[in-house]
Amino acid sequence: MDAGLKQMNGELERKGSLTSSYLEEPLNKSGVVSCIFSLKEEVGALVKALKLFEEKGINLTHIESRPSRKNKKEYEIFISVDQASYKAMEEVVDSLRTQISGQVHELSRNKKKDTVPWFPNVIQDVDRFANQILSYGSELDADHPGFTDPVYRVRRKEFADIAFNYRHGQIIPQIEYTAEEKATWGKVFRELKTLYPTHACREHNLVFPLLEKYCGYREDNIPQLEDISRYLQSSTGFRLRPVAGLLSSRDFLAGLAFRVFHSTQYIRHSSKPMYTPEPDICHELLGHVPLFADPSFAQFSQEIGIASLGAPDEFIEKLATVYWFTVEFGLCKQGNEVKAYGAGLLSSFGELQYCLTDKPKLLPFDPEKTSMQKYPITEFQPVYFVAESFEDAKEKVRKFAATIPRPFTVHYNPYTQSIEVLDNTQQLKDLADSISGEISILCNALRKMK
């Protein structure tokens, strides 16, 4: 895997169009220490700051600038140095705080005391971690059904390479699926479709026919990620992004904060059409996609993602568990019945039937308790959590998120597709203005309905 770091030293502009630029970082994120500091718009400010690094013999591996979102009279500098410079960096950070007016934020995946783990600020930042995968998609375990099939392994590498080379904003490459792959999809599609009317939640059953109409969901056709991504964007702003392998929980959840869902594009091995040891396109398209087209569920998923940004590791684990028991294996009340909305259920013929029998234990969804529940990953779940509704689940996740120890509050700006850290009065005023604009629209509409 290419773990190369693009050297971008010295490409700073002092004034004018200061924009954040794309960078690739090495696979081993723990080898990078990053920091953002803000500087006043005055001659010599940057030189003075860079001098501090030079004095300590620190080689900057990456540097970029952008106008400050917090203060129009300042601009922000993002820098990365290698791990060897970590000690010296601490001294420079202290000097920056005392000698340069402005704020300093240390960002690190290698969590140290008093640092906030790095998180993406803008949707393009997803490119920075999308390839920080725990294993490449073509590396199969010995017990994988496709392990001894060289053709399948070559195919898996093709899919992994597509995802690895993908960047935000590009069109997701179309796949010419083989007859064998289509046959596997067809079996899964046909079987599961018989269960949806009785076992899937209302939202899933509402969206499914639309996916058949607009996105090519058919027994004899594997839909294309790009078509689905466009459809989701038009309905809830969610988008799909191909992924080359397993992401860490932190990165996967961070994608949700931007309404980005990392999706596989390959299909399970044809020898076991009703089984897959990992997510595949059947799981994503039949399980996840219909729910991401529902506004309430989309908002709920994004809440989990936003809660994860900059959260300490122990809370990431808790949020990943909440995600597991909702987005993957959630049940919800609908009238007097309980239905499935989790993708792990909606894409498994066996577990979709099992989850609504009296065999598993059903508990009310409560993030505090749900986040502590242990679960098996290779067998049917012994415990499921039942949500009152997506709205209710969303509110509960919000309250849970408020207990996460973070020194700041974040807000997602859908116009700029960016995360705003709300830590100064100007930002709060801007947010209040925007809410007051929405309230005025609401009042107007209510008046006209009288």
CA distance 324 to 440: 38
User: Rounded CA gap, 269 and 325, in Å?
Assistant: 26
Q: How far is the CB of 315 from Fe ion (least distance, A)?
A: 21
The structure tokens listed for 326 are: 């909702």
Interaction pattern, residues 295-334, with Fe ion; x per rule: CB under 5 A: ----------------------------------------
Using CB under 5 A as the binding rule, the residues of this chain from 206 to 235 that contact Fe ion are none
* Residue 116 lies near Fe ion (rule: CB under 5 A): no
Q: Which residue is nearest to Fe ion (CB)?
A: 343
Q: Are 236 and 294 in contact (CB under 8 A)?
A: yes
Query: CB-wise, 285 or 401, nearer to Fe ion?
Result: 285
66 beta partners: 76
**For residue 437, what is the enclosing H or E element?**
helix 425-449
Q: CB 415 → Fe ion: shortest distance, Å?
A: 29
Q: CB-wise, 80 or 276, nearer to Fe ion? A: 276
Residues 342-371, one symbol each (x = binds Fe ion by CB under 5 A, - = not), give -x----------------------------
**Between 307 and 343, CB nearer to Fe ion:** 343
Query: What x/- string results for residues 268 through 287 when contact with Fe ion is judged by CB under 5 A?
Result: -----------x--------
Number of residues that bind Fe ion (CB under 5 A): 2
The order of strands in the sheet holding 383-387 is 337-340, 331-334, 383-387, 361-364
Residue number, 37 or 324, with CB nearest to Fe ion: 324
Shortest distance (Å) from residue 323 CB to Fe ion: 9
Report residue 100 as tokens: 């340069």
CA distance 303 to 294: 14
Least separation in angstroms between residue 288's CB and Fe ion is 6
Catalytic sites, residue numbers: 283, 288, 328, 347
Query: Considering only 121-129, 304-312, 341-349, 425-433, which stretch makes contact with Fe ion by CB under 5 A?
Result: 341-349
Taking the C-alpha atoms of residue 107 and residue 34, their distance in angstroms, rounded to an integer, is: 5
Phi first, then psi: give them for residue 351, nearest 5 degrees.
-75, -25
- Is the CB of residue 265 less than 8 Å from the CB of residue 162? yes
**Neighbouring C-beta atoms of residue 380, cutoff 10 Å:** 17
Using DSSP's 3-state secondary structure scheme, residue 79 falls into strand
Based on CB atoms, which residue is closest to Fe ion, 132 or 276?
A: 276
Instruction: Look at the chain and count its residues.
Output: 450
List of residues contacting Fe ion (CB under 5 A): 279, 343
